[in-house]
Structure 1
Amino acid sequence: MLNNTVWSILCLLSLSAAIVGHANDQSVVTVISKEGQDAVLPCSLSTRKNIVQTVFDWKKDDQKEVFLYDAGIHYNNGRTGQDQQFIGRVSHFPGQLEFGNASIIIQNTTVIDSGTYSCVFPRIQPQAQIFKIQLLIGGTFKDRSNIIPGAAQEPCVTILTATEHKVFLKCEVRGAFPQPKVQWQDSDGKVLPAEEPQVSERDKRYSVTLITTVTRTTTNRFYCVVTQDVIKHRTAADIYVPFCEPKCNHSAGTFMGGWFSGALSVGGPLAVFLVIKYIKKRQRERSDQQEKDPENGAAVSLNLEDV
């Protein structure tokens, strides 16, 4: 397995020699890999100078320490300071150091490994040598909320308010990075029209609130979908809206036994609206009955105990 990797790096270096051999012009080599595979990042001096007793330092996005080698001492044999993201996952090619090869392997890559890497020889004369490598990891969208810091948690969805013909749904996402895209969808995956999202940022974390309006449709279930393209993260939450069918007007038992309990489980505003509507209807029915048959006595007022 290692021999195959060595041959791969040698082939890659020969193909990119024209770029790697001119480090200080800041040309960038692009390396593409799939999530879960190992990625080889090339870095080699065009002079093929022996670097066994020198220093080379790999960093990601000019911040995270990936791999530091100093005359035989590195992160895998006692040196400290490596970023947590790369501990136990990065190695070099000891047998290639005498040929000026400072390439590294990142094992079991994930989308969070994507970024710009720099390979620096700070002590090479007459000036330090710097190589740039762009690593792109192709991945599939999945829930990474417990894997990647900043990945959005499952959103909070609620019924904001309701009228006789419309229900207003609210979706809230808190503390996500990078900034997520938020959409309301129906059960068929169709994106629903919504208000302009309300976005706030604090300590490089984004919070987003999105409100949509739904009416009676062929579905009662709606989804708030949160997507972060850069880290291939997606999560969602659903909510059930108990729209009452026309037949409910003729079946008190069905209404109170099903829709009333369902409304309470979804949200107070809608439940109150439906109960008030039902009570007013029953009061009108009793009033009409009294006018038709006054001998049956006075109209009886309806309260919640009648329900």
Structure 2
Amino acid sequence: MELLPLVCLCLLSCSGDARVTVLVKEDGDAVLPCLISNKEDITGKLFDWRKVESQKENKEVFMYDAGSHYNNGRPGQDDQFKGRVSHFQDQLQNGNASIKITRTKMDDSGNYSCDFPRHQPSQPFIVELLVGAAPEPCIRTLYDKLLWRLLQCEAHGDPRPTLKWEDSDNKTLTAEEPKISERGGRFYVTVKTTVTKTDNYSCVATQETLSHQVAAAIPVYIQGEIL
């Protein structure tokens, strides 16, 4: 009797806690990774992506079964993801079962599982998607006077970003108390500062819980500055 080779489908980073986090801005594109470590051709295999809502409930995100998938007529995809999820067809031969979710929404945040159901024991790969990273802050000049300029910085996101103004030496500037509002599930934060010196100034937005930081800069020339 011929012995069939034992094939182990080991997902990338399956040792220890097989989990990664993907951070994306709202309305951006998110690539959720799922790779077979031995780069086995999975063109003829089945893999299934689901969004984990609870221990008993999952949403079907993307299923591929030997060429049949949700984008070519296969039924079963949750309405939340219709028309927004694709796979990397040219990478299947390299064991790449990753997917891309376009036009991400806040509701897309959560845990996703990539599974090969026909492989036993099953080793689902978990990806945490966080939608809401603050985009680059928006800076504008409110008043441009001879000896000073009033600058405003605005950023939005969820969780709420904190803002600070810095000069070119990365020194934090004195600023007004931030104004905070909430609209559509996002926090909007505005901070103003008055500068009296010619310099390049930056507004830095930080979301500590996401380990995310982004900044924008503006050059300022003070006409009446005394040198």
Normalised by the size of structure 2, how large is the TM-score? 0.52
Aligned match of 1:30: 19
CA distance in 2, matches of 1:121, 1:246: 69
Aligned match of 1:238: 218
Instruction: Specify which structure has the bigger relative contact order, considering alpha-carbon pairs within 8 angstroms and separated by 6 or more residues.
Output: 2
Measured at CA, do residues 188 and 90 of structure 1 come closer, stay the same or move farther in structure 2, by a change above 3 Å?
A: farther
1:68 and 2:68 are equivalent in the alignment: no
Deviation at 1:64, TM superposition (A): 6.5
CA distance in 2, matches of 1:170, 1:194: 10
CA distance in 1, matches of 2:158, 2:174: 24
Q: Which has the larger radius of gyration?
A: 1
Q: Is the 8 A contact 1:197 1:209 kept in 2?
A: yes
The runs of 5 or more residues in structure 1 that have no matched partner are 1-6, 20-27, 43-51, 95-102, 123-128, 138-147, 248-307
Deviation at 1:105, TM superposition (A): 1.4
The runs of 5 or more residues in structure 2 that have no matched partner are 1-6, 23-29, 37-44
Measured at CA, do residues 77 and 84 of structure 1 come closer, stay the same or move farther in structure 2, by a change above 3 Å?
A: closer
Aligned match of 2:97: 105
Deviation at 1:168, TM superposition (A): 4.0
Measured at CA, do residues 187 and 72 of structure 1 come closer, stay the same or move farther in structure 2, by a change above 3 Å?
A: closer
Deviation at 1:38, TM superposition (A): 8.3
CA shift digits 1:258-301 (9 cap, x unpaired) = xxxxxxxxxxxxxxxxxxxxxxxxxxxxxxxxxxxxxxxxxxxx
Match of 1:79 among 45, 64, 74: 74
CA distance in 2, matches of 1:226, 1:114: 21
CA shift digits 1:114-162 (9 cap, x unpaired) = 952135899xxxxxx995613589xxxxxxxxxx987535513224587
Aligned match of 1:289: none
Aligned match of 1:59: 50
Deviation at 1:242, TM superposition (A): 1.0
* SS of match in other structure, 1:66: strand
Measured at CA, do residues 58 and 39 of structure 1 come closer, stay the same or move farther in structure 2, by a change above 3 Å?
A: closer
Q: Is the 8 A contact 2:49 2:60 kept in 1?
A: yes
- The amino acid that maps onto 1:171 is C
Aligned length: 188
CA distance in 1, matches of 2:12, 2:133: 35
Measured at CA, do residues 220 and 243 of structure 1 come closer, stay the same or move farther in structure 2, by a change above 3 Å?
A: farther
CA shift digits 1:184-218 (9 cap, x unpaired) = 121233332323322111111221111224344xx
Aligned match of 1:4: none
CA distance in 1, matches of 2:114, 2:128: 13
Normalised by the size of structure 1, how large is the TM-score? 0.42
Match of 1:39 among 33, 42, 52: 33
Deviation at 1:170, TM superposition (A): 2.3
Deviation at 1:61, TM superposition (A): 5.3
Measured at CA, do residues 228 and 160 of structure 1 come closer, stay the same or move farther in structure 2, by a change above 3 Å?
A: farther
- The amino acid that maps onto 1:29 is A
Aligned match of 2:160: 179
Measured at CA, do residues 245 and 238 of structure 1 come closer, stay the same or move farther in structure 2, by a change above 3 Å?
A: closer
Cα RMSD (Å):
5.3
Deviation at 1:243, TM superposition (A): 5.0
